[in-house]
A and B are shown apart, each in its own frame.
Chain A
Amino acid sequence: MLSEDRYFQTLSEEDLWQRYCGFLHLTLDEFMGIQNRLLLDEIEQVSKSTLGKHILGDNIPKSVDEFRRMVPITTYDTYKPFLKDQLDSALATKPYAWCHSAGRQGSFKWIPQNAEAFEKCTRNFIGSWILSSASRRGEVKIGPGIHIFAMMPPPPYTSGWVYKVIRERFTFEAIPNPEAIKNLDMQDRIQLGVQVALRDGVDIACSLGSVLANIGEKFESQGQKRKLTIEIFHPKVISRLILGLIRSRQAKRRMQLKDLWAPKGIVCGGVDTNIYKADIARYWGVEPLDFYVCTEAIFMAMQSWNKKAMTFIPDSAFLEFIPYDEHIKNMANPDYKPRTVLLDGLEAGKLYEVLITQFYGLPFLRYRMNDIIKVVSLRDEETGVNLPQIIVQRRVGESINIGALTDLDEKTIWQAIFNTGVECVDWTARKEYDHNQSFLRVYLEQKKNRDPEEVAKLIDEQLRIIDIDYKDIGDYLKLQPVRVTPLSRGTFDRHTAEKRKAGADPAHLKPNHINPSEETLHLLLKLSNDGDKE
């Protein structure tokens, strides 16, 4: 019996909840106690390693305060000479796996993870599945043998390793089977996944919000035009389709995914979760649970069963936060040493940059995550969680400053485009200038062509609703700083094909939403022109 299966076999629902979701019921003091104790252990372990000595030097901090005072803030460049060649000997513990980051930020990273970190990560993922399916405290609806619908890349990508490790510890049917989709592209993976799910059902779906919404939308739009394949004649598939048809007819609408399956939970990670929340709930019948994951500490935080703001997990990494004003000073002057606060020093409504120190002898110390979070509140009255509640705002540098009044990030722009109701395939945006006046340029591929000026006006209206600072631009400067450049149909698909042909990594097939490189933008415009000519 697999290790996590054993817990489900032997523990009560209450104990299972305590094991997987118990972090939600810690007090702030308890949380800090765990953090401090694990940090001191980390210092003790790391100080003996080559990499640890490289950062700590000869003066080993003896307390948390000393650690924060003495150890400099680090970036991946600090570790690169040791990690890029995967030097096991430089580390304090033997890594279980070397994980590869997706490289969305432009550079790839090799990150070592050990068995202890993967054990915690497995627990946290199962915790997220439990929470995604729970409607109250203590409710555990999942167990071994569940069907997980997930689109995960293979190892050495971090998510691939994580998926592999969870499968080694917990019995579940992976839909689609990771071994079967190794050489397939994303569309084929999704297609295969849906086929298998039609037969076996889905208990938990786990993917990017946009992917799940897209699957739901495509399924609904296909309607009767769905292609008939040999797999459809499986008795289980037939019965599921018949039942789905009956349910959709009863509801007097086209068949949707929720008519076929009744997933217990949906788990999403990424800035787009909130944007597609309503769509996912509409197509899949369940509101998604958002989590905050990264390559370095894997699982940082997740929402509770009420699916509002997220709560940090105490034993994933030691958490420090740079207040936003300090972050700005540091961005302007890299020599400036920013002040940091701990979780018990966070203030509601403020933005912070996240610094982490890994636990369990892993190498990253006071490491810049390049993520900006927002503290929504210091506790969640609804669920009784007495820890700060956060949302991930954006990546550092992934924002567009307009008129020195507002920073528009991916989430905000995406939400604004989404709220306009303009059906778009994809988009990218950057700051441009017109006679020294800055404005937001959105390159947009629409499904149905609408006048760019009208779309720009709609986006502007939505931005005014979403972002108070942006509203000030209109009110004070009497400006409408959004311009839209339409891209011809299929531009983003052609970009993906072009990149794939050039042998690009899966993470770089799509252009960044915010501040794409000049090269990417040229390519997009060229491909758009090509599309126009066709």
Chain B
Amino acid sequence: MINPFSNPFYLLPPLIGVAIIIVLVVLVLQKASRNFATFLFLGFLSLLGLWCLFTYMMRSSPSPREALPWEKALVIAALASFAPYYLFTMAYTRPGKSRWVFPATIIFVIIAATVAATTDLVIKGMTLQPYGYAPVTGPVSYPYYSAIPLLVLGGAYNLFKAYRTSRFNEERNRLLYLAIATMFPVLGTGLDALTDLPPASIWSNLAFCILCTIAIVRYHLLDIRILIKKSLAYLILSGLIAIPYASVLYIFNRVFEPRISEWWGHVVTVLILAIILRPLYTESQVLVDRLFYRDRYDYLRALERFMRETQNITDLEKLGGTVTELISGAFHTKIVHLLLASESEEGFSLVTSLGQKIISSKIFFKNDSPVIEFLRLRSEALTLDKLSVDYHLQTLTPKEKNYIDEMGAKLFIPMRVRQGQLSGILILGERLSEQPYSDEDMRVLGALSGQIAMALENARLYRDAIRARENLEVWLNSMNDLVVIVNIDNQIQFMNRAAQERLGVQPGKFCWQILGQERVCPGCPARQYWESKRGGLHQDIRIDEKEYDVVSAPLLNPDGSLSVIEVMRDITEIKQAEDKLKELYENERSLRQQLEAEIKKRIEFTRALVHELKTPLTPLLSSSELLVEELKEDPWLKLAKNIYRGASNLNRTIDELLDIARGELGMLDVHPQPTDPLPLLKDVIDEMSPVTTGRGQSLTLETPPSLPMVEADVNRLRQILLNLLNNASKFTPSDGRIHVRAALAAHNVVVEIQDTGPGISKENQERLFQPYYRTELDRQQYSGLGIGLALCKTLIELQKGEIWVTSELGEGTTFSFSIPLAKSSQKKEEATRKTT
């Protein structure tokens, strides 16, 4: 018998196990999140560490008798360690559920441990086997031992159950790691129980612990399915290499002497085989890949089909439909939506939809949406669960969330064109299998989306080009001008509708045929371009009694050749109108000359009037004024006053006449400036009061407490008011009333002068503001020239105001005029109105 105690592989493994488990415990303590499940997992690791330690103690015992207590201890530790593992799977997959299981499991373990420790029912004794100590089992050893794999399998069941229901890739992958890890202790226990091989449990349990710890500690785990597929592919490939190698080696050894026993012999054989069997290996590789990467081949086939089917599709909607169908078939999902950048460039709108009835062209995601920002900035796919993680994505508006719900979206794939610009989004719904999309799915979708984006971009460009061409045709055909494009051979390439209709020639004919020529015209502009390459030409030509203004310019064709574009405008009517205009201009010039002569005469007349009347009047006014001051007694004083009054009236009348004349000649000036109307009104009323009182009339003024500033010439405004008041006083009977009212109206101050005079007929009202016009009554009863109101109108209009009259015969007259507010007052007024 071989002494197992001299074999380091007998004593060392438990110690290695203890060391590894200590490392794993530290790792879990440092890296894993602190929760109840982690606590249970730590319990499992610690107890398994004890199991390793007890195993070492048992193996290093000098005799079976001394090994027995350690064997009992390790049997208890084995059961006690897998109980927390089972509870860990419970807590990990169903937190807060089935709480009764926890005390029940613990009670079971305590009972079983007590039985194993205190009786011989589980372990009766120990024997020495070739590989070391072996337990002599008791009557309940099998139920006891079977509890361990049952606990492990129970845990595996929990994990598989959670795997099936989980919707998250990371979680599913982690659960799969844990579930697969549980196979190791089952395998180890099975080998130990059913075979005479050396104890394998310790290694299988260590593998189990390491795999579980990795699954718990690491967040981004390598996709275990890829791991399995790759491992199997390499195994098969190794088999494919090993079988011919072994066969060749066998044959070689049988046929040749001496047999290959040297290492270089093997190397040479393998090299020769590698060269000879290279095509076979490549085929095998493809076979294995096909076998294990069927999905990827499906995708590739789908891509091929897409490229084949869509190369001739230029209709964007149809292409979109094909895309959604392709993706739906390749990725086994019912719901696929295609969103493209909207024409308004505000965001992304739906182009086609499969599996969900969404008939809308609205903007689903605006450009500033977190979804768009995410897809624009990152080159990765966006999964639905990411919306709850990324802080920006969490701030989607309720409307955007509704759209996502409405679409049944699970995955967003960005579609980029060559410049990396986001051109669209592919949105996929849940898969038919209800399984989440794997990382590989997303990678393939990423690649596919690039191809789709290019195809869609081409279709969009084609659509835009068609639209541009259609637009150009519509624009050219809607022109009244004639557009003709002629090539180097003087052949007409294009004619717009107007050209075809009016010239009666179709494209394809020669341009000289339009002009009724039989060969190229002498001095043909097209020839000139091609010969001298100079710029555009402008000329008038006559075709069929019509005059055309023709502008010709060189045109570069897409193939690089030159043509000439000619735009012909029918100017027959313009020419006729020009002639007419010329005639009218001549008439107008003659009339203007006459008018200028008339104005000149008037100016001269006015100048003479001023000179002839004002010159003698000035000494008369000053002398009479002096006389009035100097004379103290009547009748001389009265006579002097009469002279002064008469001279003053005459002076005023001359001034008014002069103003009217200036006004007519456009030489009358006013100097508006911000003016407070209220003091002016009061001043004028005070000035007029003696006159009206003297005539037995009452004169009243009605104004608000304050009025805004107006833009007016103070002197001219005073002149207007005095004129209107004099006018009112003139026509108002001795017991009558004159009422002046001023108020704010919009951007103006409106002044009304109301009298209780005889009133003015409608007919007279229309002509009242004409110079020298006087009513019948005025002419009969009063003196005057009839220029006061005309002057008022001129002065008011020069100050951007208006004047109007309202009157009924027998019911008095109201003259009203408006004066605009000063700019500062207008702003203030505007602000007040808004506030109100």
Contact = CB atoms under 8 A, between A and B. Distances in A.
Given A144-B95, A145-B35, A37 B368 contact: yes
Interface string B753-788: 000000000000000000000000000000000000
A22 B399 CA distance: 23
B96 A22 contact: no
Interface string B26-49: 000000011110000000000000
A34 B96 contact: no
Interface in B388-426: 388-392, 394-395, 397-399
Given A10-B168, A10-B171, A33-B368, A19 B33 contact: no
B29 to A, nearest CB: 13
B219 interface: yes
B385 interface: yes
B388 A23 contact: no
B395 A37 contact: yes
Q: Which of A8, A11, A34, A171 has the largest count of B CB atoms less than 10 A from its CB?
A: A11
Contact of B398 (A8, A33, A360): A360
Given A143-B35, A145-B96, A10 B391 contact: no
B397 A38 contact: yes
A37 to B, nearest CB: 6
A288 B36 CA distance: 24
A14 B219 contact: yes
A88 interface: no
Interface residues of A, number: 38
Interface string B160-173: 00000010101100
A222 interface: no
Nearest to A35: B395
A8 B219 CA distance: 12
Contacts of A1: 95
Interface string A155-181: 000000000000000010000000000
A103 B251 CA distance: 98
A272 interface: no
Contact of B96 (A14, A25, A33, A144): A144
Nearest to A315: B395
A239 interface: no
A285 B36 CA distance: 22
A9 B391 contact: no
Given A10-B170, A144-B95, A30 B219 contact: no
Interface residues of B, number: 25
A38 B399 CA distance: 11
Contacts of B394: 19, 22, 123, 315
Contacts of A383: none
Contacts of B392: 30, 34
Contact of B388 (A19, A25, A34, A37): A19
Contacts of B391: 18-19, 22-23, 25-26
A44 B220 CA distance: 41
Contact of A9 (B171, B368, B388, B390): B171
A216 interface: no
A97 B398 CA distance: 18
A323 to B, nearest CB: 24
A142 to B, nearest CB: 8
A5 B394 CA distance: 17
A223 B419 CA distance: 74
A530 interface: no
Interface in A168-214: 171
Contacts of B368: 33, 37
Contact of A314 (B35, B170, B388, B395): B395
Interface in B347-386: 368-369, 385
Contacts of A41: 397-399
Contacts, number: 75
A37 B397 contact: yes
B791 to A, nearest CB: 48
Interface in A1-56: 1, 5, 7-15, 18-19, 22-23, 25-26, 30, 33-34, 37-38, 41, 44-45
Contacts of A145: 35-36, 95-96
Given A33-B368, A144-B96, A13 B33 contact: yes
A326 B269 CA distance: 93
A116 interface: yes
Contacts of A33: 368
A181 B91 CA distance: 29
A41 B389 CA distance: 22
A33 B396 CA distance: 12
A8 B96 CA distance: 14
Contacts of A144: 35, 95-96
Q: Which of B171, B220, B395 has the largest count of A CB atoms less than 10 A from its CB?
A: B395
A95 interface: no
B96 A361 contact: no
A12 B397 contact: no
A1 B96 CA distance: 9
A63 to B, nearest CB: 13
A141 interface: yes
B363 to A, nearest CB: 13
Contact of B389 (A19, A38, A44): A19
Nearest to A23: B391
Contacts of A26: 391
A302 interface: no
A230 B395 CA distance: 50
A140 interface: yes
Given A15-B389, A34-B392, A143 B33 contact: yes
B100 to A, nearest CB: 16
Nearest to A26: B391
A38 B385 contact: no
Contacts of B95: 1, 5, 9, 144-145, 171
Contacts of B388: 7, 19
Interface in B211-235: 219-220
Contacts of A8: 33, 35
A38 B395 contact: yes
Given A38-B397, A41-B397, A143-B33, A12 B219 contact: yes
Nearest to B162: A9
B395 A171 contact: no
A18 B170 CA distance: 17
Contacts of A19: 388-389, 391, 394
B173 to A, nearest CB: 11
A360 B396 CA distance: 10
B34 A141 contact: yes
B389 A11 contact: yes
A25 B33 CA distance: 22
Nearest to B165: A1
Nearest to B373: A33
A41 B168 CA distance: 31
A123 B388 CA distance: 10
Nearest to B369: A37
A171 B97 CA distance: 11
Nearest to B37: A143
Contacts of A44: 399
B365 to A, nearest CB: 12
Contacts of B168: 10
Interface of B: 33-36, 95-96, 166, 168, 170-171, 219-220, 368-369, 385, 388-392, 394-395, 397-399
5 closest A-B pairs by beta carbon, nearest first, are A22-B391, A12-B219, A41-B397, A143-B35, A10-B171
29 contacts: A1-B95, A5-B95, A7-B388, A8-B33, A9-B95, A10-B166, A10-B170, A11-B389, A12-B170, A12-B219, A12-B220, A13-B219, A15-B389, A18-B390, A19-B388, A23-B391, A34-B392, A34-B395, A37-B395, A37-B397, A41-B397, A41-B398, A41-B399, A143-B33, A143-B34, A143-B35, A145-B35, A171-B95, A361-B398
Given A30-B392, A143-B33, A145-B95, 16 more contacts: A10-B166, A10-B171, A11-B389, A18-B391, A22-B391, A23-B391, A25-B391, A34-B395, A38-B397, A116-B398, A123-B394, A143-B35, A144-B35, A315-B394, A360-B398, A361-B398
